[in-house]
Amino acid sequence: MENDSDFNQYMISFKYQFKSYLRTKRFLGLFLFTLIISVGITALILHDEYSMLKAGPPLFYFYNYLENFSTDLVVIIGAFFGGDIISTDTGTNAAYYTLVQPVRRSVLFLGRYTAALVSSFVIVFVYFLVGIISSFYLYGKVTPVIFEGLGIVVLFLAAAISFASLFSGIFKGQSSGIIVSVLLLFIGFPIIDTFVGTIGGVDPLFSLDFAGEIMYLIFDKPYPAAKVVGPAGFGGPGAAVAAAKVSSFYTFSPTVMQGIGVLIAYIVICGVIAILLYTRRQIEG
């Protein structure tokens, strides 16, 4: 049956792409990078705030731990694994072998997409694992909310990879899609969030980074208010001029349902466009 054939081709695509990722310097480098960052952040938190954390619940610890770097980590890893899903074929001579096979490009894409998602999750899970171990060290237990957090991580990674795959379909070079994805997710979105949300007072629900914040906000009890308005707090030279231009700062927090909705929208919309780009791209090598 055609469906069985598609499924088998999907599994073959996933299997070989996943094995390929595990053998790359990219995977090993990001794995070690995540491990070092995780241990470093844990050491700093325990050194500076041990007494306060010890007196509080595991929820409070995970909020502090994840707030530090988890969002940045997810978008970086998602960009690295999603930024060349398509260009690995269309921008190299590999296309002459791969794309002439009797496999639908959509099936091939989905197999690679799943391999990128699983590979990315393995790396990000290291960050969570270090937090889980340190939670047992502090409290002798771990909050069950961690499972909700891991579920959101899967959605967040899937959205970041889907977004990055767009640029893999747009650019011919393998590195171009990765670089553009990293710049937009790691630098571009945060800057836009600051001007649109913090200064402009507009809820930045369009932002992937903003939606992904629910990954650690679920550990904050009570859950943060959707919008908080505070006085401008500029310091240093030119503070008076800046304060005159900006009278208030705004702090937005996506609700869990809003965040999940935005992440799913990125997965579906960007994924469909990426598949269309892949399907219509001509072989170039």
- CB-based contact 118:156 (threshold 8 Å): no
User: For residue 281, which phi and psi values (nearest 5 degrees)?
Assistant: -70, 135
- The predicted model gives 96-111 an average pLDDT of 73
d(CA 39, CA 215): 20
Domain assignment present for 225: no
Residue 61 belongs to some domain of the structure = yes
Contact (CB, 8 A) for 45 and 53: yes
Q: Is residue 222 part of a domain?
A: no
Confidence (pLDDT) at 59? 93
Return phi, psi of residue 250, to 5°: -120, 135
pLDDT tens by residue, 205-234:
999 999 999 999 999 989 998 888 877 554
Residue type, 169: G
Q: Which two tokens stand for residue 235?
A: 């310091």
Q: Is residue 195 part of a domain?
A: no
pTM of the full predicted structure? 0.89
Residue 239 pLDDT grade (very low, low, confident, very high; cuts 50, 70, 90): very low
Range of the domain at 18: 2-189+255-280
Does residue 35 fall inside a structural domain?
yes
State the DSSP H helix or E strand holding residue 123, giving kind and residue range, or none if neither. Answer: helix 105-139
Record the tokens describing residue 99, joined without a space.
Answer: 């794309």
As a whole number of angstroms, the distance between CA 128 and CA 18 comes to 21
| 220 is a domain residue | no
pLDDT at 58 over 60: yes
> Cβ distance 159 to 185 under 8 Å?
no
How many CA within 13 A on the CB side of residue 125? 10
For all residues of the chain together, what is the average pLDDT? 87
**Which DSSP category does 219 fall into?**
T
Domain count, the chain: 1
pLDDT of residue 232: 59
Report whether pLDDT(121) > 90: yes
pLDDT of residue 193: 92
CA of 154: how far to CAs of 66, 75, 123, 231, 239, in Å? 15, 12, 12, 36, 42
- In this prediction, residues 175-198 reach a mean pLDDT of 92
- Non-local (6+) Cβ contacts of 76 within 8 A are 30, 182, 185, 186
pLDDT tier at 189, thresholds 50, 70, 90: very high
The CA distances from residue 190 to 124, 199, 206, in Å, are: 20, 12, 12
Provide DSSP, 44-113.
HHHHHHHHHHHHS-HHHHHHHHHHHHHHHHHHHHHHHHHTTTTHHHHTSTTHHHHTTSS--HHHHHHHHH
Percentages (nearest 5) of helix, strand, coil residues in the chain: 75, 5, 20
Q: Is residue 202 part of a domain?
A: no
Note whether residue 27 is domain-resident.
yes
Q: What is the pLDDT of residue 278?
A: 87
